[in-house]
Structure 1
Amino acid sequence: MSKRKTQTMDGNMAAAYASYAFTDMAAIFPITPSSSMAEHVDEWAAAGVKNIFGNEVVVKEMQSEGGAAGALHGSLQGGALSTTYTASQGLLLMIPNMYKIAGELLPAVFHVSARSLASNALSIFGDHQDVMSTRQTGFIMLASSCVQQCMDLGSIAHLTAIKTRIPVLHFFDGFRTSHEMQKIEILEYDELAKLVDMDAVKRFRNNSLNSNRPVLRGTTQNPDVFFQTREAINKFYEPIPEVMQYYMDEINKLTGRDYKLFNYYGSSKAESIIIAMGSGCDTIRETIEYFNKNGSDYGLLEVHLFRPFSIKHMLEAIPDTVKRIAVLDRTKEPGALGEPLFLDVKNAFYGKENTPLIIGGRYGLGSKEFTPANVMEVFTNLENENPVDGFTVGIVDDVTNKSLVPYDKKFNPSPVGTIACKFWGLGSDGTVSANKSAIKIIGDNTDKYVQAYFAYDSKKSGGVTISHLRFGDDQIQSPYGINSADFIACHNPAYVNQYDLLDDLKEGGAFLLNCVWDKKELEKELPSKIKRKLADKKADFYVINAVEIARKLGLGNRINMIMQAAFFKLSNVMSLEDSIKLLKEAVIESYGRKGQDVINMNNSAI
C-alpha cells in the first residue's frame, strides 16, 4: 500500500472533511463543542471546494437548533443529501424531527461531538448523555474513538445512510476527540466517490417532493393501520450491520486499517475484558498493551455500531476464554438498573451457556479524566472475588461509596521515546493558538506522530489554560492529560504561587518560566517548593522575559510567538533553522489578514 497523504487536524475537522464529500445541504446552528465542524464546511463552501457530486455545499445557518432540524428535514424531502452538526441540548431540540426523519427513511447524517446535559448543573464538557437520549429515534448510532476514526467512520456513516435509507448519528467525545489534534491519514474524495451507491442516490432524489409527481406524505393514521406500518420498517433495519461492515471493509482496503462493528484488542486468551466506546477505548488499549507485554492477559471490546445493536457480531468478537466483563458507560441514567451499554451487553448474553460475570460502571462524565490508572482500577475490581457493580472511576464518591480503590502503582504506558510537554498559560495570551500552530508544524513537517489537547475551563479568556503536547516515532493513543512531562513551560509567573507546576515533570526534564524578574528577584520570588522540586528532579531551568520583549515590539500581552520560538529552541524536535522558517510561515497564515506590520512584529519576536 502506498504512503497516504497526512495532515494534522482535530476531530471536528476530520468529521467535517468526511461530511463535506457527501453533503448537498448543511443546516447549522452553533453549539460548543461542535461549532467548528460547521465553520469548516462553511469556509470550504465559500472557497469553492467541490463535494463528490461536483458542487459546493449549500450552508444555511438557522436561528435555533430546532430550526436547523426543521430545515434539514425539509431539505431531505426535497431530495438533497443533508447534514448537521450539533451537541448537548442542541441535539435534544432536534429529537422530534429525528423521529420523522428516521420514520420517513431519509438518509440524513448528524455529526455529534457528544457532550453532557444540564442536570444538577450545566457542563459544556464531554460525555455521552446527549446521544443516549436519542436511542429510540430510529437513527443508526456509530461511535468514533479518535481523530482518525472521525474521518474514516464519518465517511462510513454517509455511505451507510445512502445505501440503507436510514439516518445515522455519528458521535465522538466532545473536547476529548473533537478538539484533540492528531496527525491522520486523509481519505481522498475521488476514492470515496467510487464507494457511493449512485443508484441509491438517484432513487433518493427521484423520491423527492415535486409538483410534477405528486405524492401523499405526512399523514395521520388510526389504530387500524399505524401498528402495522410502524413494524414494516423492520426490514430496513435488519441489513444495517452487514451493510456497515461492507463499507468498513471497503475503507479497510483503502487504508490498511481493520474496522469492525466491534473491534477486539488484547490477548486471545483473556479472561477479563472491558467493553466501552468513545475516546476511553484508546486509553484502555494503550494500558492493556503495556500490561500484556509484561505477562498479563487483558482485553478490550471497542464498540462502533451501537444502534442497531448486533448481538451476533458482538459475541463473535469476544474470545471464548472470557469469564469476567466490565462494561464502561460515559453517561448516567438515575433510577435505571444500569447504563445503556451495560444493559445491552447483559441482554446479549441472556440465556447463553457459560455466561461471564458482567458488571457495569461509569466514567468520564463532564470530561472527567479517564487515565491508565483508572483502567487498572477497573481490572483490579473485576478480578476481585466479589467485584463492585455500578461503580465509578476518576472521582472520590464519599456519599454513596461507589468509587473504586485507587490504583497507586506508578507506570507510564506511552511508547518509549514519546516526548510529552505541558504549557501553562492565561486564557487570551495566545498560548493555546501558538501550541496549535506548533503541533501542526511538527506534524506536517516531520515524520513524527503528534497529539495535542488543550484544557481550559468555561471562563476561557482570563482563566488558566494547560496545553498537552506529545510527539514521537510511534502512534500516540493517549487521550488523557500528561502526568509525566519532559518539558514544562509556565507563561504566567503568578502560577508559581498557585499551582504545583512541577509535579508532573520527569527527572532530568526542562522547565521554562516566563517572568520579569532578574536573577536576584528570581531568588526571592520563586517559592521554595519549586526550587526543591527543580533540585530533586535534576531539572534544567530556563527563564525568559517574554513580556518585556513583547512590549518593546508592540505586541502588548501577546507573548505566544516568543514562547513558541523558545520551545522549539529547547525541545530540539527539529533544527532551529527549520523551526524558525516554519514559524514565520505560520505567522503569515495566522496574522496575514492583519497587515505587514503585525507580521513584522511577530517575525521580530521569533
Structure 2
Amino acid sequence: SHEIQKIEALDTEDMAKLIDQKALKEYRENALNPEHPVTRGTAQNPDVFFQAREACNPFYDAIPDMVNDYMQKVGQITGREHKPFEYYGDPNAENIIVAMGSVNDTIKETIDYLAKKGEKVGLISVHLYRPFSAKYFFNVFPKSVKRICVLDRTKEPGANGDPLYLDIVELFNNKENRPMIIGGRYGLSSKDTTPAQILSVVENLKSSTPMNQFTVGIVDDVTNRSLPVLPEISVSEAGTFEAKFYGLGADGTVGANKNSIKIIGDNTDKYCQAYFSYDSKKSGGFTCSHLRFGDTPIRSPYLVTTPDFVACHVFAYLNMYEILKGIKPNGTFLLNSMYNAEDTVKNLPAKIRKELAEKNINFYIIDATAIAEEIGLGNRTNTILQSAFFKIANVIPYELAVTQMKKAIDKSYGKKGENIVKMNYAAVDRGGDAIKVEVKKEWANETVASENATSNRPEFIKNVVDVINAQEGDTLPVSAFTGVENGTFPCGTSQYEKRGIASHVPEWASENCIQCNQCSYVCPHAAIRPFLIN
C-alpha cells in the first residue's frame, strides 16, 4: 500500500459491456425474497452434508475457462495479454521461477537484467490461484525446463512445504521426466523483495546442490535456511530517475512529495511512482519518501535502494541513519542545514564527508528552517525544500515546476486568505536559494571512527532496539530474536531513545503552567521532571 503510480484507467462503460446483465439479474433474484421463498441456513447432518458439498464441484470446475474467457475480453480493451498463468522470459529456459503477486514485477526486472548477460531464465506468474488449473499451467510451461523454484509469501509452520510449492509438486506427480522442484519463502509482513534477492534465488536454483525450503532476504543463523545476501543491483531502465527524501513526521515532506509526483505526472509524459515509509510515531517520527520517474513504465514494487538524488530535511539524521546508503556515483545530495557552507562541512560526520568524496556527489545546502521562520511558516519547511528539489534535480523545467506548485497552493490555501497564499508563494521562490558546496577530494581519505557502544545500555537495546531505530532492522539476523521467539519485548525501551531532532530547545512557560504534573506523567522519554516540594 502507500503507493502512487501513474496508470491509464479503464473506462467504466467499456467494462460494463462485459457484464452478462441477464446473469446479474438472476444472481440478484437469488436473494431471499417472499415472492419465491426458500429455506436457507438449515442444519445438515453427517448423512447428507458430504454429498451436498461435492455437488458444488461442477461450478468450481467451470471457473478456469470462464476466467480465461473474460481475461481475453479484458485484453481486447487493454491491448494486453491476460491468462490464468503467464510465462515471461526465454522460451527455451531450463531454470524458471513460479510465483504470484507483486514480486513478479521484480522477477521480470531481474530476468531482463540476466538476459543481457546471456542467461536464460523464465517466470510463470500465477493469476488464478483457486481453482488451480493444471490445463492452463501446462499451456504456458516450456518443455525445456529442468528446474523450478516456487516462491511463497507465507509460512506454514510444520508443513512439508508452503501452499503454492505443494500445488506445483502435485502437478508433476505422475509426469515422466519431471523437473526438479524446490521451494522458498520471501517477503513476510511486506518485507521488501529486491532484485538482489531474486538474483540469489536464481543462483541457488542453478547450483549443483540447490537448497530446498529456503528463506531469502534475511540471515537465518539459527536453522541456516537462508540464501546468501547479495549486494543490491540497479535494474532500472535507462533514464529512470530515483530519489529518496528523509523527513520528520508532520513536517510536510510526504505531502510535498505526493504533490511533486502529481506535478511531474500531470505535466509530462513521464511515468511516476512513489512509496512512503514511516515509523510508528503519530508525529515527529521518521519518514522516507521513495520517488521514481522514467520514460518507460516503472515496475519496481520495492523501495529505492540505489538513488540518484537524496534529500535530508533533518540535520540530526546524519548521525542517526545511513543517509547516503546506496547513492549512485555522481549523484546529488541536498541537506537542510542551519549552518553556512563552511560550518556545514565542519559539522558533517566524517562518514558523510568520506562518501561524498568517494562517489563524487554533488552537494547542496539550504537553511529551510530559517527561511520558514522568516516568512512566517513556522516549522513547515516542505514547500521550500520541494522547490529546491525541482531547482537542483532538473527533472522538469524549474519554471514549470514553480508555476504548478503555485497552482497547487492556490487550490490548497486559497480559502485561508491572501496572506497564507503569499507566504507559501514566498516559500516556493526561496527554494532557489540552495547553494552548492565544494566536495574536496581529500575527504575520501578521512578516517571514520568506530562507534563506541554505551556500556550501561541493556544488551537487547544495543543489539536489537538501537538497530531498529536506526532503520537497519532488515540487517538483524534470526539469532537476534533468540529468547523472544514468542514476540514479547522488554518494557520501558523508549527511555533509551534520545534522538536529538529538535531545531530549538523547549522552554517552560511558567505563566501558562497550572503545575498539574500530567506532562511529566505522560512523557515516555522522561524528558520532563517536576520539582516536588512540600
* TM-score, length basis structure 2: 0.78
Match of 2:123? 300
Match of 1:542? 364
Give the superposition deviation at 1:375: 0.6
Give the superposition deviation at 1:511: 0.6
Q: CA-to-partner distance for each residue in 1:280-338, whole Å, 9 max, x for gaps?
A: 11111001011112211001111111111111111221101011111111111111111
Q: How has the CA–CA distance of structure 1 residues 213 and 254 changed in structure 2, closer, same or farther, with 3 Å as cutoff?
A: same
Match of 2:325? 503
What secondary structure sits across from 1:389 in the alignment? coil
Matched, 1:355 2:178: yes
Match of 2:201? 378
Q: How has the CA–CA distance of structure 1 residues 198 and 562 changed in structure 2, closer, same or farther, with 3 Å as cutoff?
A: same
CA distance in 1, matches of 2:248, 2:278: 9
Match of 2:91? 268
Matched, 1:369 2:199: no
Amino acid at match of 2:398: L
CA distance in 2, matches of 1:236, 1:509: 57
Match of 2:273? 451
Bigger Cα displacement from structure 2, 589-598 vs 314-323? 589-598
Structure of higher CA gyration radius: 2
Give the superposition deviation at 1:224: 3.1
Gaps of 5+ in 1: 1-177
What secondary structure sits across from 1:450 in the alignment? strand
Match of 2:146? 323
CA distance in 2, matches of 1:500, 1:312: 49
Q: CA-to-partner distance for each residue in 1:330-374, whole Å, 9 max, x for gaps?
A: 111111111111111111111111111111111111222211111
> Contact between 2:341 and 2:365, CA under 8 Å: does it hold in 1?
no
What secondary structure sits across from 2:281 in the alignment? coil
CA distance in 1, matches of 2:30, 2:296: 49
Match of 1:259? 82
Amino acid at match of 2:70: Y
CA distance in 2, matches of 1:360, 1:589: 52
Amino acid at match of 1:188: D
Amino acid at match of 1:405: P
Q: How has the CA–CA distance of structure 1 residues 324 and 593 changed in structure 2, closer, same or farther, with 3 Å as cutoff?
A: farther
| Aligned residue among 386, 391, 398 for 1:576 | 398
Matched, 1:194 2:17: yes
Match of 2:438? none
CA distance in 1, matches of 2:247, 2:331: 19
Give the superposition deviation at 1:512: 0.3
Matched, 1:603 2:460: no
Amino acid at match of 1:346: V
Matched, 1:466 2:288: yes
CA distance in 1, matches of 2:188, 2:15: 35
| Aligned residue among 270, 277, 284 for 2:100 | 277
Give the superposition deviation at 1:489: 0.4
Q: CA-to-partner distance for each residue in 1:560-601, whole Å, 9 max, x for gaps?
A: 111111111111111112111111222244445655543333
Give the superposition deviation at 1:222: 2.1
Amino acid at match of 2:151: L
What secondary structure sits across from 1:322 in the alignment? coil
Q: Write out aligned runs for 1:105-184 (5 A).
A: 178-184=1-7
| Aligned residue among 506, 509, 522 for 2:344 | 522
Q: CA-to-partner distance for each residue in 1:522-579, whole Å, 9 max, x for gaps?
A: 1321112211211121111111111112112322222111111111111111111211
Q: Write out aligned runs for 1:197-236 (5 A).
A: 197-236=20-59
What secondary structure sits across from 2:42 in the alignment? coil
Match of 2:134? 311
Match of 1:563? 385
CA distance in 1, matches of 2:284, 2:189: 21
CA distance in 2, matches of 1:293, 1:369: 24
Match of 1:10? none
Match of 2:501? none
Match of 1:342? 165
Q: How has the CA–CA distance of structure 1 residues 589 and 250 changed in structure 2, closer, same or farther, with 3 Å as cutoff?
A: farther
CA distance in 2, matches of 1:461, 1:315: 52
Give the superposition deviation at 1:407: 2.8
What secondary structure sits across from 1:489 in the alignment? strand
Amino acid at match of 2:345: E
Q: How has the CA–CA distance of structure 1 residues 318 and 544 changed in structure 2, closer, same or farther, with 3 Å as cutoff?
A: same
What is the root-mean-square deviation in Å for CA atoms of aligned residues?
1.5
Gaps of 5+ in 2: 429-534
| Aligned residue among 216, 222, 225 for 1:402 | 225
CA distance in 2, matches of 1:335, 1:457: 33
What secondary structure sits across from 1:286 in the alignment? helix
CA distance in 2, matches of 1:603, 1:236: 62
Amino acid at match of 1:215: V
CA distance in 2, matches of 1:363, 1:299: 18
Q: How has the CA–CA distance of structure 1 residues 216 and 591 changed in structure 2, closer, same or farther, with 3 Å as cutoff?
A: farther
Bigger Cα displacement from structure 2, 320-329 vs 548-557? 548-557
What secondary structure sits across from 2:243 in the alignment? strand
CA distance in 2, matches of 1:270, 1:356: 12
Aligned pairs, number: 428
Match of 2:525? none
* TM-score, length basis structure 1: 0.69
CA distance in 2, matches of 1:528, 1:443: 38
Q: How has the CA–CA distance of structure 1 residues 239 and 594 changed in structure 2, closer, same or farther, with 3 Å as cutoff?
A: farther
Matched, 1:419 2:229: no
Amino acid at match of 2:363: F
Give the superposition deviation at 1:213: 3.0
What secondary structure sits across from 1:306 in the alignment? coil
Where is the strand percentage greater, Structure 1 or Structure 2?
1
Give the superposition deviation at 1:223: 2.8
Bigger Cα displacement from structure 2, 397-406 vs 518-527? 518-527
CA distance in 2, matches of 1:248, 1:603: 49
Matched, 1:246 2:69: yes
Match of 1:57? none
> Contact between 2:219 and 2:229, CA under 8 Å: does it hold in 1?
no
> Contact between 2:390 and 2:398, CA under 8 Å: does it hold in 1?
yes
